[in-house]
Amino acid sequence: MVSELRLPATTDSVRLARRFVREQLHDSGCDVDTAVLLASEVVTNSVLHGRSEVLVAVQDLGDTARIEVSDDSARSPRLNRFHVESATGRGLRLVEQLAVRWGVAPAGPGDGNGKVVWFEVGPATDAAWESFADSSFAEGAAPE
């Protein structure tokens, strides 16, 4: 079963999305904390760059979960390089490092020119966070 929540393009939507994802996955075998973190990052990107309503869809698959965040912008998100002192630009790097899988797809038929950013989170393990801590992402990268 897929649960959905439509949110306005405001910063309050990020908090509401976190709460929604946590509520939907509270009995899941997946890493709920990572799912909430990544949903927060993707919804933030949609609010800041998509500038449209956001639809958050959560599917609990037992020991994994799939979260989709849709907006009306056809502009695809991109992985940025960032300086270690930068305050922004890390959201998709987090998704890349911590999700089992992730991607971007065009919105469904009849949904306009928008997109869906989706990711899957597996069971909680230390391995994903250890990999994250060991990556150049954790240290920062040279500015572009």
Q: Report the pLDDT averaged over residues 6-25.
A: 97
In-domain check, residue 7: yes
pLDDT digits (tens, 9 = 90+) for 44-92: 999 988 888 999 999 999 999 999 999 998 888 766 665 555 445 567 8
Specify the CATH number for the domain of residue 132.
Answer: 3.30.565.10
pLDDT digits (tens, 9 = 90+) for 48-60: 888 889 999 999 9
Q: Which helix (H) or strand (E) holds 20?
A: helix 12-24
pTM over 0.95, yes/no:
no
Q: In what order do the strands lie in the sheet with 101-106?
A: 2-7, 54-60, 65-71, 115-121, 101-106
CA 9 to mean position of chain CA atoms: 16
The yes-or-no verdict on residue 115 having pLDDT over 60 is yes
Give the model's pLDDT for residue 107. Answer: 79
* Residue 100 structural domain: 2-138
How many structural domains comprise the chain? Answer: 1
